């Protein structure tokens, strides 16, 4: 039977706060094979029963079941809409109407009637206290409430309350953006929560990223000096009238019992100062002070419909340890980002003090040094109730361990929980195989993602940094997008990237950019500037392109088009005869072939810069093609050819030796297709030689590592790629696993074989960058590969790389069309391959090392030598063969 399994809006199941009609997609279910959609019909209504139809597409002959746009419907602000679809397929079946998807519009073009209001004054500039603001109001008499939508944002962080209850389950709102250009507001449905007569709304406000103490140079007030709230509560009554409650000078403010809260340093709360019931009716706030109005450009406010930070999971302690030095430490068994929630009983004035950290030192003692100046400290002063429960709210910590510096009573595991925070994204990738270490590596990569996708893709979540380093986000983008649904996460961040670009198209090292103008104390940045490093700045092109590849999303290419072009043009402008470099370059950052004590790997800067210049130019030309911008396509694809030629002239000797004899130089040349065809074999051989010189180990940094396995396996060296992946001694991915890592480390030698550590000045144990090998697990080991010509996995290329001595691999990727599954089993030389291809897509299955085909029902393989190729429609397939 044909049905629509799931309908999505902007790739989510529901949205709250949109300014434009979302793109629509749906997943098809059927018990048939080779299902193709022939036509669809979409309807939009204000009510979930579709009594009144606002829009009906009629039957549209189309096979599009993703990225479908409806343009001819006029949306109204603060309004709920429902969408449903039905389809017909190539087997003559017709689906019933799908379940409904729904969304609420944001403010759209409605002006904000209220102002930003603050309970702070100019003397609070350097203050990290939390303040409260509140306002009682009554509903209009007469008619009942039909709907009530709240639009709210803040300068700083906020938590909003209605009649004593927190509104929504988002945390760290409104998130971190390039606030001067782009400040998100959130939209919540309060229709059911308003009381008939009197109501109170209020908020807590904290410094957060807006005015807090941020960056490794520990500056503050990057965007402003006072926290402030803005909101607009739009109440529609059933008689058609409307009431609007906004932030204005009728609100009152007061200090909160949270005396201090900062992203890096943690939180101090004195519960004895709690103003019980402050956010509810019946509270006497006559002593509160009037708020002040803060001038701020309201035009920068934009709706955030999804992908907000939430409490995603709670972990129990795995052990409570007493260290050699006598400290009591709670071990949560997993490096993560979030909060510790604790229960405590004691007397008024008793304290709980927690220090959060990542790892124990070689003697098993508390190790805080790699946090640098970040305190990661939470202090709670008890009010003396029977049982008090607390977690911080306007900070977050990166930790596995917690040192309990003070706690009244016995420290019992049941009184502590680690709340895992990250941006709310659906899990899309699953990987399981017969090698447990590889499974743990996959786990560590996933947790690296979780720990660092806290609203912004950060380099690390624990030390005084946690910045949106563009290079890290670039190299990890594809891996992240196999693991989780990153589209809306990256769309938000890329918007900031384009806002923060220099007028000339230069791309900041970190986005949101808080380094420019704030790094006099950093020798490298002060001298070399804060933008435009190869591999870092290329996030401007590679990340939107990756979104296109993974989701078939042209909107992100449209939105980022000028930004992408700006970056390519920047490189062109700063190149000399198409070889470029510019001020500070990170090169093959933290590679092991760096000189003693240096972070900069041995691969020459101009080679790295020019390789990325070629790569980004090529991707940009493809983006131009995808958007039918023929002139740009022609211009930039010609430019790409010229850069490749220059690269070859400059870096290859006439006999085919790549001038820079480093692993990374060879990887880039191969993976970015910069090798003259006659020299390919020599280049691959030299790469293998360079591996052997290090006893099969990599010595690569941020630039070479992500593509190492690809560069080998795409050039017939699958065996070497597997060996590299499965290496267990230092330096290698599994070395970390064997050392007990639960996330990915910043350095191959973060923890050295002799138990000592890399210098504490830069030694994160939760840095996703080297987790970029994750894409090799999906794209090559499982072999779930996207096709540039039919992106978003409309056409799936399935080409598993069987090897590594594994007896089985099971991997799935939840594409926008549905689940793609690849499982392979090997027994002696007999391989069983199971494949699932989602409906309304098709796949090409490619087998290498094909000896004899044993069975392949419904799969028509064309065999040539030892390779086999078959095209299949949707469905489940099993192929059995003997390996050559």
Do residues 187 and 149 make contact, with C-beta atoms less than 8 angstroms apart?
Answer: yes
The CA distance from 26 to 22, in Å, is 13
How many residues belong to the site for ligand BGC (CB under 6 A)? 10
By CB under 6 A, residue 433 contacts ligand BGC: no
| Span near ligand BGC by CB under 6 A; candidates 97-105, 355-363, 467-475, 853-861 | 467-475
User: Could you say which of 388, 465, 785, 799 contacts ligand BGC (CB under 6 A)?
Assistant: 465
Q: Which of residues 310-339 bind ligand BGC (CB under 6 A)?
A: none
The residue whose two tokens read 């940045």 is: 525
Task: Tell me which residue has tokens 């209020």.
Answer: 202
Give the x/- contact pattern for ligand BGC in 564-593, rule: CB under 6 A. Answer: ----------------------x--x----
CB of 465 to ligand BGC, least distance (A): 6
* Cα–Cα distance, 560 to 541 (Å, whole number): 8
Separation CA 708–CA 684 (nearest Å): 11
Q: Which of 748, 739, 752 is nearest to 592 (CA)?
A: 748
Nearer to ligand BGC, 264 or 394 (CB): 264
Minimum CB–partner distance for residue 261 and ligand BGC (Å)? 24
**Catalytic sites, residue numbers:** 465, 746
Please write down the HEC assignment for all residues of 19-41: CCCCCEEEEEECCCCCCCEEEEE
3-class DSSP string for 780-836 = HHHCEEEECCECCCCEEEECCCCCCCCCEEEEEEEECCEEEEEEEEEECCEEEEEEE
Closer to ligand BGC at the Cβ: 246 or 519?
519
Q: Are 74 and 46 in contact (CB under 8 A)?
A: no
Which is it for strands 795-798 and 784-786: parallel, antiparallel or unpaired? antiparallel
Shortest Å, Cβ 510 to ligand BGC: 8
CA atoms within 13 A on the CB side of 69: 6
| Nearest distance, CB of residue 418 and ligand BGC, angstroms | 23
Q: What is the DSSP letter of 516?
A: T
Q: Which residues contact 276 (CB under 8 A, 6 or more apart)?
A: none
Number of H-type helices and E-type strands within the chain: 15, 48
* Distance separating alpha carbons of residues 262 and 684, to the nearest angstrom: 50
Binding mask 747-766 for ligand BGC (x = CB under 6 A): ---------------x----
Nearer to ligand BGC, 508 or 868 (CB): 508
CB closer to ligand BGC out of 469 and 813: 469
Q: Are strands 377-381 and 266-270 parallel, antiparallel or unpaired?
A: parallel
Of 459 and 618, nearer to ligand BGC (C-beta) is 459
Separation of alpha carbons 336 and 462, rounded Å: 9
Q: Is 25 left (phi over 0), alpha (psi -120 to 50) or beta?
A: beta
CB of 472 to ligand BGC, least distance (A): 5
765-784 footprint of ligand BGC as x/- string (CB under 6 A) = ----x---------------
DSSP state of 705: G
Q: Does 472 bind ligand BGC (CB under 6 A)?
A: yes
State the Cα–Cα distance between residues 104 and 189, nearest whole angstrom: 8
Task: Report the nearest approach of ligand BGC to the CB of residue 173 (Å).
Answer: 26
Q: How far is the CB of 555 from ligand BGC (least distance, A)?
A: 28
Distance CA 594, CA 589 (A): 9
Which range touches ligand BGC (CB under 6 A), out of 415-423, 463-471, 675-683, 843-851?
463-471
Nearer to ligand BGC, 170 or 588 (CB): 588
Q: Is 357 exposed, middle or buried (0-12, 13-18, 19+ CB in 10 A)?
A: buried
* Stretch of residues binding ligand BGC (CB under 6 A), selected from 49-57, 84-92, 381-389, 465-473: 465-473
Under the binding rule (CB under 6 A), the answer on residue 150 touching ligand BGC is no
Q: Does 459 bind ligand BGC (CB under 6 A)?
A: yes
Do residues 647 and 606 lie in contact, with contact meaning Cβ atoms separated by under 8 Å? no
Q: Is 469 in the site for ligand BGC (CB under 6 A)?
A: yes
Q: Compare residues 159 and 764 and give the one whose CB is closer to ligand BGC.
A: 764
**Min separation Cβ 832 and ligand BGC, Å:** 41
Q: Considering only 225-233, 303-311, 457-465, 481-489, which stretch makes contact with ligand BGC by CB under 6 A?
A: 457-465
> Is 538:612 a contact under the CB 8 Å cutoff?
yes
Nearest Cα to Cα of residue 200 among 164, 246, 232, 227: 164
Q: Which position among 471, 529, 587, 701 is part of the footprint of ligand BGC (CB under 6 A)?
A: 471
Q: Which of 171, 168, 206, 163 is nearest to 187 (CA)?
A: 168
Q: How far is the CB of 701 from ligand BGC (least distance, A)?
A: 10
Token digits for 4? 């629509």
Per-residue binding letters, 530-569, with ligand BGC (x by CB under 6 A) = ----------------------------------------
CB-nearer residue toward ligand BGC: 28 or 371: 371
Window contacting ligand BGC (CB under 6 A); options: 263-271, 466-474, 605-613, 864-872: 466-474
Question: Shortest gap between Cβ of 587 and ligand BGC (angstroms)?
Answer: 10
Closer CB to ligand BGC, residue 350 or residue 455? 455
Query: Could you tell me the two tokens for 80?
Result: 């709920």
The binder of ligand BGC chosen from 201, 271, 460, 568 (CB under 6 A): 460
Which spans of this chain sit near ligand BGC (rule: CB under 6 A)? 459-460, 465, 469, 471-472, 586, 589, 762, 769
């Amino acid at each position: 039977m044909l049905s629509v399994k799931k309908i999505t809006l902007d790739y989510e199941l529901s949205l709250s706060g949109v300014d434009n009609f979302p793109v629509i997609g749906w997943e098809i279910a059927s018990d048939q094979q080779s299902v193709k959609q022939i036509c669809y019909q979409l309807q939009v209504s204000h009510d979930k029963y579709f009594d009144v139809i606002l829009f009906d597409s009629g039957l549209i002959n189309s096979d599009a079941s993703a990225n479908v746009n409806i343009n001819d419907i006029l949306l109204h602000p603060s309004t709920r809409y429902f969408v449903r679809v039905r389809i017909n397929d190539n087997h003559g079946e017709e689906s019933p109407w799908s379940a409904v998807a729904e969304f609420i519009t944001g403010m759209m073009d409605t002006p904000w009637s209220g102002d930003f209001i603050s309970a702070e004054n100019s003397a609070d500039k350097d203050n990290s206290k939390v303040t409260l603001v509140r306002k009682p109001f009554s509903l209009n008499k007469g008619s009942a409430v039909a709907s009530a939508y709240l639009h709210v944002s803040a300068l700083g962080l906020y938590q909003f309350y209605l009649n004593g209850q927190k509104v929504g389950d988002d945390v760290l709102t409104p998130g971190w953006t390039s606030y001067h250009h782009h400040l998100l507001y959130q939209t919540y449905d309060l229709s059911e929560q308003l009381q008939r007569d009197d109501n109170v709304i209020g908020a807590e406000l904290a410094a957060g990223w807006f005015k807090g103490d941020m960056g490794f140079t520990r500056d503050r007030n990057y965007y402003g000096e006072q926290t402030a709230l803005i909101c607009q509560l739009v109440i529609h009554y059933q008689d058609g009238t409307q009431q609007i409650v906004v932030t204005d000078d009728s609100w009152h403010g007061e200090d909160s019992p949270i005396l201090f809260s900062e992203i890096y340093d943690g939180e101090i709360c004195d519960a004895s100062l709690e103003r019980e019931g402050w956010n509810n009716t019946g509270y006497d706030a006559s002593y509160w002070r009037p708020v002040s109005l803060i001038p701020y450009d309201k035009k920068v406010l934009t709706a955030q419909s999804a992908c907000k930070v939430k409490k995603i999971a709670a972990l129990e302690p795995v052990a409570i340890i007493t260290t050699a030095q006598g400290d009591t430490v709670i071990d949560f068994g997993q490096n993560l980002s979030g909060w510790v929630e604790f229960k405590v009983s004691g007397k008024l004035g008793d304290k709980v003090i927690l220090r959060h950290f990542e790892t124990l030192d070689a003697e098993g003692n508390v190790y805080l040094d790699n946090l640098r100046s970040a305190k990661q400290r939470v202090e709670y002063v008890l009010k003396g109730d029977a049982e008090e429960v607390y977690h911080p709210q306007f900070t977050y910590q990166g930790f596995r361990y917690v040192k309990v510096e003070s706690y009244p009573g016995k420290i019992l595991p049941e009184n502590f929980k680690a709340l895992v925070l990250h941006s709310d994204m659906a899990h899309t990738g699953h990987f399981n195989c017969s090698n447990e270490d590889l499974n743990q590596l996959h786990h560590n990569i996933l947790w690296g993602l979780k720990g660092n996708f806290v609203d912004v893709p950060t380099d690390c979540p624990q030390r005084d940094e946690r910045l949106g380093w563009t290079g890290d986000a670039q190299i990890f983008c594809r891996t992240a997008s196999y693991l989780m649904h990153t589209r809306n996460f990256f769309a938000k961040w890329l918007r900031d990237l384009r806002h923060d670009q220099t007028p000339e198209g230069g791309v900041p090292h970190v986005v949101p950019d808080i380094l420019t103008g704030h790094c006099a104390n950093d020798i490298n940045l002060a001298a070399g500037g804060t933008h435009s490093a190869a591999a870092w700045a290329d996030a401007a092109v590679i990340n939107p392109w990756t979104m296109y590849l993974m989701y078939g999303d042209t909107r992100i290419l449209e939105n980022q088009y000028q930004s992408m072009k700006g970056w390519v043009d920047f490189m062109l402008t700063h190149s000399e005869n198409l070889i470029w470099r510019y001020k500070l370059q990170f090169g093959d950052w933290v590679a092991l072939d760096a000189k003693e004590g240096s972070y900069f790997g041995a691969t020459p800067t101009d080679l790295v810069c020019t390789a990325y210049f070629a790569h980004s130019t090529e991707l940009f030309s493809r983006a131009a093609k995808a958007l039918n911008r023929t002139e740009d396509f022609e211009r930039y694809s010609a430019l790409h050819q010229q850069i490749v030629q220059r690269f070859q002239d400059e870096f290859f000797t006439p006999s085919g030796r790549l001038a820079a004899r480093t692993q990374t130089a060879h990887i880039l040349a191969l993976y970015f297709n910069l090798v003259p065809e006659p020299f390919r074999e020599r280049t691959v051989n030299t790469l293998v030689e360079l591996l052997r010189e290090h006893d099969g180990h990599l010595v690569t940094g941020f630039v070479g590592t992500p593509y190492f396995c690809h560069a080998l396996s795409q050039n017939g060296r699958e065996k070497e790629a597997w060996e590299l992946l499965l290496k267990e001694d230092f330096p290698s991915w599994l070395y970390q696993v064997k050392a007990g890592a639960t996330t990915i480390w910043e350095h191959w030698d973060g923890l050295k074989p002799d138990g000592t550590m890399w210098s504490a000045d830069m030694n994160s144990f939760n840095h996703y960058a080297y987790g970029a090998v994750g894409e090799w697990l999906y794209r090559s080991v499982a072999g779930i590969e996207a096709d540039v010509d039919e992106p978003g996995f409309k056409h799936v290329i399935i080409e598993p790389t069987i090897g590594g001595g594994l007896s089985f691999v099971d991997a799935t990727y939840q594409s926008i069309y549905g689940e793609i599954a690849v499982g392979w089993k090997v027994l002696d030389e007999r391989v069983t391959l199971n494949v699932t291809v989602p409906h309304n897509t098709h796949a090409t299955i490619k087998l290498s090392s094909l000896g004899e085909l044993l069975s392949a029902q419904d799969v028509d393989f064309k065999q040539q030598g030892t390779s086999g190729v078959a095209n299949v429609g949707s469905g489940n397939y099993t192929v059995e063969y003997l390996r050559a």
